[in-house]
A and B are shown apart, each in its own frame.
Chain A
Amino acid sequence: MKKKNMWLLVAFGAVSLTTFLVYWFLYWPPKPFPSNEQIVQEINRTYEEAEAKVIQDILFVDTQHVVVPYISANEDYGLCYWSWRNHKWQVLMIDTKGEPKVWKVNGNDPTSFAIVWNVHPDDQLQAIQFYLLRNRNYGMTDGVEHYSPRIQMEKEISLREKSYGILQLPKDWALVLNSVLMEDRVGQSSLFFNEFFPLQNAYFGWIPYDQSGKEAFPEQSVNGNTYAVGDIYQEHVMIMNKIELEIQK
C-alpha cells in the first residue's frame, strides 16, 4: 500500500513538473526586452563582425518578435531580429545593412508578415514604395487552360522622420497573397507544400526615392552580410525600377 502511494506521488510530481516546464518554455509571457547595452553585447557576442555600437530603437512586430535597428562602429545601419523562445530573448539573425526584407514571422501565414528596413541616412532617401507582385501568366495543363492575372499592389512609406521601420503587411495584401498561395497549391501534393517554403510566384519589390522625388540607388544600404543563428524565414525584397512596373493605360 505504501509503495503504491509513493508511485502515485512520483507520477503526480512528474506530471506537474512537465506541465510547469512546458508552460515555462512555451507559454510564459515574455520578459521585458533587454537594455540597450545588453543588446549591443548580445549582438557582438553572436556575430563579432557586426560591431554594433548604437541601438536606434526597439520595434515589436508582436509580443514575441522584435526587430532592433542599430548603427555599427563603422557607420553601417543594420538590423537584428529577436524572438522570445525557450524562456529567453534570442537573437535569430543579424543583417549588417538595412535593405528591406520581409520577415515571415509565422511560416506562410501572410497576416504575420512584416516588412522591415533601416536605410542609411547618407543615401538621402525620402520615401520607399513597396510592391506586392505576381507576373501575368498563362498556360495549359492536362488540356485545361489557365490564366493568372498580374498582381501589382503598392504601399508608400515616408522616411522623413525615421530611416528605419516595420510595416505589418497591409490587410488587402495579406488577403491577396493568401489566395496566391492557394492557387500555387493546385496540382501539388500536400507533402510537397511546405509551411516554410519560399513564395513561388508572388514576390516583393521596393523603389527608393530621393529628396527630389526621383528614383535613387541606395549604395550604402545594400550588399550587407547576413548572419543567421536561429530558425527564421524571410523573403527577399527586390530593388526595382519604375519601368518594370505597369501603369494604367
Chain B
Amino acid sequence: MTVDFTFNLITFILNLIAWVSIGLISFRIYQKKKIKLKAWKVIVVLYIGLFSFNINWPMFDMVVKIPLLPLGVWILYFFLKRKEGRWETYRSHAWLGFGANVIFIATTLLAVPLQHAFYPEKEATTYLSSIENASLLPIHPSATEQKINKVALEKQLPNMTVEMVYSQDWYEETYMEMESNERNERNERNERNERNERFPYQLTGVTAKWGSGKSPVIYIESDGKGLLIKTKEKEIYFRSADSFLEEVN
C-alpha cells in the first residue's frame, strides 16, 4: 500500500481538547438535570446534534466550515417530541451538539498559528528533519553521477532561504536554449532532444518533522543548491549558499 499517513500533532491535540471540553460541558448539564439520562443516549443526541448545514469559508490555506442550519437539532426535535417531555430533557444536549461545531471552528483557527509556530513553513528543517537515510535518486538523463553530502546538507538546512518559484521561466528556459542551439548547429543535432532538467534528482529517505503531518516530495536542483518541496498544500522552493551534492568517486 502507498502509505502516506503522517501524524498531525497539533490537530490531534486540539481535537482532543475540543472533545474533552464538549464532554465536560455535557457532564455539567447532566448533573444539573433532575432526570438521570442514559449516557449512551446522551452521546447519540450529541452526535446527531452535530449535523448541520455549513457554508465553507476559505481562510488562510484552509476552509472553515461555518454552521448555518442546525439540521441535527431539527431531526432530534421531530423524533423526540412524539413523547411528552422527551424533547425537553434532551434539548440542551442537542443544542450542545450544534454548538460543538463552533468549538471545532475555534480549533481550526487556533491550529493555524500553532502550526506556524511549531512547524514553520518557510524553514527547510520542517520538511527535512531526519536525513540519516537520505539518498539521491536521478530521475532524468541529465542527472550526473553524484551523491548527497549529508554533512553539508545538515549544515545548510537551517540557513536555506525561500525563493520564488518561477515555474514558467524554468519551463521555457529548458526549451529555449535548445532552439537557439538548433539554429547554429548541424542537422544531426536537430533531431535530438538535448534538454537538461532543472531538477533532475529526487531526495528520498528523509522524513519531515515529527507531528507536522507533512509527507513532502523533494526535488533537487542540478547545481545541488536548490530544493523544490511539494506537500499536499503547497509548493516551496529553497536555496542554499553552497552545494550539498558531491561527485561519486
- Provide the residues of chain A in CB contact with B168, threshold 8 Å: 138, 145
Are B194 and A249 in contact, CB atoms less than 8 angstroms apart? yes
Are B217 and A150 in contact, CB atoms less than 8 angstroms apart? no
Are B137 and A151 in contact, CB atoms less than 8 angstroms apart? no
- Pick the contact of A109 from B1, B194, B219 — CB < 8 Å? B1
Instruction: Select the stretch in B16-24, B40-48, B227-235 that faces chain A.
Output: B227-235
List the A residue with the shortest CB-CB distance to B195: A246
- Pick the contact of A138 from B170, B196, B202 — CB < 8 Å? B170
Instruction: Select the stretch in A67-75, A118-126, A170-178 that faces chain B.
Output: A170-178
Chain A proximity of B79: nearest CB distance (Å): 29
- Provide the residues of chain B in CB contact with A145, threshold 8 Å: 164-168, 235
- A136-B174, A182-B4 given; A175·B228 CB < 8 A: no
Are A248 and B139 in contact, CB atoms less than 8 angstroms apart? no
Are A176 and B137 in contact, CB atoms less than 8 angstroms apart? yes
List the B residue with the shortest CB-CB distance to A147: B167
| Residue B133 lies at the interface, judged by CB distance under 8 Å to chain A | no
- A110-B2, A182-B217 given; A151·B235 CB < 8 A: no
With A and B bound together, what is the CA distance between A249 and B143 in angstroms? 11
**In the complex, which residues 172-188 of chain A have their Cβ closer than 8 Å to any Cβ of chain B?**
172, 175-176, 178-179, 181-183, 185-186
Are B167 and A138 in contact, CB atoms less than 8 angstroms apart? yes
Are B196 and A147 in contact, CB atoms less than 8 angstroms apart? no
- Provide the residues of chain A in CB contact with B139, threshold 8 Å: 149, 151-153, 176
- A144-B235, A247-B194 given; A149·B140 CB < 8 A: yes
- Pick the contact of B230 from A106, A107, A183, A243 — CB < 8 Å? A183
With A and B bound together, what is the CA distance between A145 and B164 in angstroms? 9
Are B217 and A147 in contact, CB atoms less than 8 angstroms apart? no
- A110-B2, A181-B2, A182-B4 given; A249·B196 CB < 8 A: yes
With A and B bound together, what is the CA distance between A247 and B167 in angstroms? 21
- Provide the residues of chain B in CB contact with A139, threshold 8 Å: 167
- Provide the residues of chain A in CB contact with B118, threshold 8 Å: none
**In the complex, which residues 14-38 of chain B have their Cβ closer than 8 Å to any Cβ of chain A?**
none
Chain B proximity of A50: nearest CB distance (Å): 34
Chain A proximity of B223: nearest CB distance (Å): 14
- Pick the contact of A175 from B137, B192, B200, B219 — CB < 8 Å? B137
| Residue A154 lies at the interface, judged by CB distance under 8 Å to chain B | yes
**In the complex, which residues 227-249 of chain A have their Cβ closer than 8 Å to any Cβ of chain B?**
243-249
With A and B bound together, what is the CA distance between A243 and B190 in angstroms? 10
Chain A proximity of B88: nearest CB distance (Å): 39
Are A182 and B215 in contact, CB atoms less than 8 angstroms apart? yes
| Residue A108 lies at the interface, judged by CB distance under 8 Å to chain B | yes
List the A residue with the shortest CB-CB distance to B194: A249
- A136-B174, A243-B191 given; A248·B199 CB < 8 A: no
| Residue B204 lies at the interface, judged by CB distance under 8 Å to chain A | yes
- Provide the residues of chain A in CB contact with B167, threshold 8 Å: 138-140, 145-147
- Provide the residues of chain A in CB contact with B232, threshold 8 Å: 182, 185-186
With A and B bound together, what is the CA distance between A182 and B217 in angstroms? 8
- Provide the residues of chain A in CB contact with B230, threshold 8 Å: 146, 183, 186
- Pick the contact of A179 from B142, B171, B199, B202 — CB < 8 Å? B202
| Residue B197 lies at the interface, judged by CB distance under 8 Å to chain A | yes
Contact with B along A182-215 (1 / 0, CB 8 A): 1101100000000000000000000000000000
The 9 closest A-B pairs by CB, nearest first: A138-B167, A147-B167, A149-B199, A179-B217, A138-B171, A145-B165, A145-B167, A249-B194, A246-B195
Q: A151-B139, A247-B141 are in contact. List 9 more A-B contacts (CB 8 A).
A: A106-B1, A136-B174, A139-B167, A145-B168, A146-B167, A149-B198, A179-B202, A183-B217, A247-B194
Q: List 21 A-B contacts (CB under 8 A).
A: A109-B1, A136-B174, A138-B168, A139-B167, A145-B164, A145-B165, A145-B166, A145-B168, A147-B228, A149-B140, A149-B199, A149-B228, A150-B140, A150-B195, A152-B140, A153-B138, A175-B204, A182-B2, A243-B192, A247-B142, A249-B177
Residues of A that sit less than 8 Å from B by CB:
106-110, 136-140, 144-147, 149-154, 172, 175-176, 178-179, 181-183, 185-186, 243-249
